[in-house]
Amino acid sequence: MKILITGAAGFLGQRLALRLLERGELMDANGNRQPITELVLLDVAHSSHSGDSRVRVETGDIADRCLLERVITVETAAIFHLAAIVSGQAEADFDLGMRINLDASRLLLDVCRERDHKPRVLFTSSVAVYGGTLPPVVRDDTALHPQSSYGTQKAMAELLLCDYTRRGFVDGRVLRLPTITVRPGRPNAAASSFVSGIVREPLSGQRSVCPVDARTPLWLLSPERAIESLIAGCELDRELLGTWPVVNLPGLSVSVAEMVEELRRIAGNDVADRIDWQIDSRIEQIVGSWPGSWETSRGERLGLAPDQDFAAIIGAFINSRNSSDPVSGGY
Amino acid sequence: MKILITGAAGFLGQRLALRLLERGELMDANGNRQPITELVLLDVAHSSHSGDSRVRVETGDIADRCLLERVITVETAAIFHLAAIVSGQAEADFDLGMRINLDASRLLLDVCRERDHKPRVLFTSSVAVYGGTLPPVVRDDTALHPQSSYGTQKAMAELLLCDYTRRGFVDGRVLRLPTITVRPGRPNAAASSFVSGIVREPLSGQRSVCPVDARTPLWLLSPERAIESLIAGCELDRELLGTWPVVNLPGLSVSVAEMVEELRRIAGNDVADRIDWQIDSRIEQIVGSWPGSWETSRGERLGLAPDQDFAAIIGAFINSRNSSDPVSGGY
């Protein structure tokens, strides 16, 4: 089985590639486990890899049709389309966000359509598709009123993927990801970058700025669970997804204050006191427009699970810190 | 004041142009009535006009950037963007629908953005953005799960217009139109074409096919009220629209059976018996995915009104039949 990962040099992309290689197989559309014979890693940045003979690295612009035509062939059974411009950057550079988050997604779907073999396309969307006046708990049938260009572009790409799926051009699935935390590495241009920063930096003896009110509710998922969910989402039986193949991934609803209190409990006052509270209205406006919780019964029915609690998320991060990890990411 | 209408040779476009010329003025963004000095009528088909000196006819492809750059200038204060590929045709020709319903809309918004004067852009959307499992009455915060490419393209263009508005590139407004009926003229490629047909043709002594179950609920608005709503929507105070400038237009919820009974009551058995019931699953699938009713309190608060009842809609059509009207349209 041939698999493509876009955004493969990113935080989730790298981990997904490692996990797939470790697993060695993926379920095909008929529910049969197939060995992974080729894993194509596409990114604008060079994807590091282990020298595994199954891996093929492709470096280039995902909005380039020729490149997509080279990496997507009739043998490509599954595509994990993770490539994206993160929220803060898409807000700062509107045209770049449109080009990668919308146009490249459409191009990818069009190349699949040309190939005419209906590959599975797993597309990652986000809490950021929601916005405006939201109910306390967002439901699967809550309208999308995104208040950022990133959220708008993701919502448009979702619609496109659903129509390409309805028409039988691809076998698409959309997973809306909570804010993934704790990410290792450095801060990035995502508006949610601080969510990992206020845990990661204090644990490393560094100060970190929290740019939003402590009461801000966040909807969180650990990197480990996110990777498991991506694979499970790709393997889901088409029939179970019905006419709207978009799934809000289960997560944990935790306020920033609760995050810090848990960090204090686990790592002590010295660590938790390394957070500086400086409101950044640009970030607060974007992050504050995202839901702090959503209804997850559909995701759970499909077998997708959240983390146990935020203590488990911090614990997993502390355990993984010994392994060197130069990559950060976010949305 | 300079105004542009796209899709100006269409059913609504022609009527809107006549109504604007008759009115002679439109409120500007500051709430002051301004004389209409130029009305640009853009369509791929030649727009007929009365020789009015305020009218400028432009014929061409709306997906052509050069054409849009010619018709949108810094003097363009308001744009009624009606041009669209109708539902049945967008389902039959996916690429054409994407090109006109999505790409041309984006191009139009981009040319406005370049001009940097924030014109008002009134965009017409549709019941077709809804679909899938719907509550009995669709609300403003009901999610869009369109089950047609037309609905998908309209939903994507809505999102785009909202983001361009949020960013201050344009002053956009979206009106979601009920099914406009009774349209004069001939049947067209819209999946909803029959809704007018089953009234219009029998009244002209011709037989007409109803391709859906008689119990199918429809959400209806007369052409006259649609035109008034377009103008009112364009004149709405920006502040009243809040952060999500999309309005579900008030309409009437009427089943096909109720339509026919009303026709029978007004025009007699001979007329109502000219309907042939032949289910067309392709049409039933599209039209059956649309809401038969939606919550209209927001539209009503904004001063937008539905027709009095379906009898009034039939009556208005019968009264207008004496005027020759060669145009049909639909979505």
A330: left (phi over 0), alpha (psi -120 to 50) or beta: left
Q: Comparing C-alpha atoms, which of A77, A74, A1, A14 is closest to residue A42?
A: A14
* Alpha-carbon gap, residue B131 to B143, rounded angstroms: 9
Q: What φ, ψ does residue B56 adopt, rounded to 5°? A: -125, 120
How far apart, in whole angstroms, are the C-alpha atoms of residue A202 and residue A273? 8
B132 touches chain A (CB under 8 A): yes
Q: Is the pLDDT of residue B50 over 90?
A: no
* Three-state DSSP state, B17: helix
Interface of A with B in 239-258 (CB under 8 A): 243-244
Contacts of B244 in chain A (CB under 8 A): 132, 145
What is the sign, positive or negative, of the torsion defined by CA atoms of B199, B299, A131, B81? positive
Triad A296, A300, A301: Cα angle to 5°: 115
**What is the predicted pLDDT for the residue at A248?**
95
Residue B176: which H helix or E strand, with range?
strand B171-177
Yes or no: say if A293 and A142 are a contact pair by the CB < 8 Å rule. no
Which residues of chain A have a pLDDT value below 50? 326-331
pLDDT category, B324, cuts 50, 70, 90? low
Q: What is the pLDDT of residues B112-130, one digit of tens each?
A: 999 999 999 999 999 999 9
d(CA B232, CA B241): 13
Contact call for B160 and A163, based on CB within 8 A: no
- Domain extents for chain A? 2-178+221-248
Write the ipTM: 0.93
Q: Does B165 touch chain A (CB under 8 A)?
A: no
Stronger pLDDT, B48 or A76, i.e. the higher one: A76
* Most confident residue range from B185-189, B209-213, B296-300: B209-213
Which residues partner with B252 through β-bridges? B220
Cβ–Cβ gap A167/B149 under 8 Å? yes
Helix (H, G, I), strand (E, B) or coil at A84: coil
Round the average pLDDT of chain B to a whole number and report it. Answer: 94
Percent of chain B whose pLDDT exceeds 70: 97
Q: For a pLDDT cut of 90, what percent of chain B falls above it?
A: 88
One-letter amino acid at A171 equals D
H or E element that contains A59? strand A55-59
The tens digit of pLDDT for each residue in B172-200 reads: 999 999 999 999 989 988 999 999 999 99
Residues linked to residue A34 through DSSP beta bridges, in sequence order = A26
Residue B307's φ and ψ, nearest 5 degrees, are: -70, 165
User: B237-275, pLDDT tens digit by residue?
Assistant: 999 999 899 999 999 999 999 999 999 999 999 999 999
Q: What is the pLDDT of residue A47?
A: 83
Is the predicted pLDDT of residue B70 greater than 80, yes or no?
yes
Catalogue the active-site residues of B. 150
Of A40, A25, A31, the closest CA to residue A73 belongs to: A40
CATH class of A2-178+221-248: alpha beta
b/e burial code for range B199-213 (CB count within 10 A of at least 16 → b): bbbbbeeeebbbbbe
Token pair in block for residue B49: 């006009």
pLDDT at B51: 85
Q: Return the pLDDT at B327.
A: 45
pLDDT at B48 (0 to 100): 81
Q: Residue B140: its pLDDT value, please?
A: 86
Structure tokens at A67: 């490149």
Say whether residue A65 is in contact with chain B using an 8 A CB cutoff. Answer: no
Report the SS3 class of residue A165.
helix
Tokens 């089943």: give the residue: B255
Q: How confident is the model at residue B323 (pLDDT cuts 50, 70, 90)?
A: low
Using alpha carbons only, give the angle A51, A180, A227 rounded to the nearest 5 degrees: 40
Nearest by Cα to B252 from B284, B225, B283, B230: B225
Catalytic residue among A130, A150, A164, A331: A150
- What is the CB neighbour count within 10 angstroms for residue B30? 7
Q: What's the pLDDT score for residue A328?
A: 40
What integer pLDDT is reported at residue A331 of this predicted model? Answer: 43
Whether residue A141 lies within 8 A of chain B, CB to CB, comes out as yes
Position B310 scores a pLDDT of 97
Listed residue (B128, B134, B179) closest to B157, CA to CA? B128
Task: Report the amino acid identity of residue A197.
Answer: G
Four-way CATH pick for B2-180+221-248: 1.10.3720.10, 2.40.50.110, 3.40.50.720, 3.30.70.141: 3.40.50.720
Contacts of B155 in chain A (CB under 8 A): 159
Q: Which residue of B162, B164, B246, B298 is the best one to mutate when testing the A interface, meaning the one whose CB has the most A CBs within 10 A?
A: B162
